[in-house]
Amino acid sequence: MNLMEPSLTHPPIQVIRPRREADQPWLLDLWNREWGGDTMVSRGRVYRLEDVEAVMAVQGGAYVGAATFVVLDEECELLSLNSLVEARKRKPSIPRLGLDGIPLHDEIEMRKVW
């Protein structure tokens, strides 16, 4: 099932819009729950949630996912991507563990461009 397409039981996800001030409490709760606080360390740098960019996925007025990132010079680094918890509500068959018993929290699609 394509999560972007409407179904008979779920309205379409309104993806993706930039973070708004009103989103901050939900994002803070998400980072605290999923990442253990309001800071993240990546590649030797400490990032605070309030200082990074974010985009939000909303469905029927409810949050269903978020991605946070930083742009430094000509690089963009994805810090967090949270969507599988909500996706599992729509499709419970999405596995909780991947290869070698590694928990699946996020779905990432990568593409190499030549």
Reply yes or no on whether the pLDDT at 108 is more than 60: no
What average pLDDT does the segment 46-64 reach? 86
Report DSSP state, residue 12. P
Burial degree of 35 (CB within 10 A; 0-12, 13-18, 19+): middle
What average pLDDT does the segment 58-64 reach? 78
Domain boundaries, the chain: 13-101
Reply yes or no on whether the pLDDT at 13 is more than 80: no
- pLDDT above 70 covers a percentage of the chain that reads 63
Q: What is the pTM of this model?
A: 0.64
What pLDDT is recorded for position 2?
46
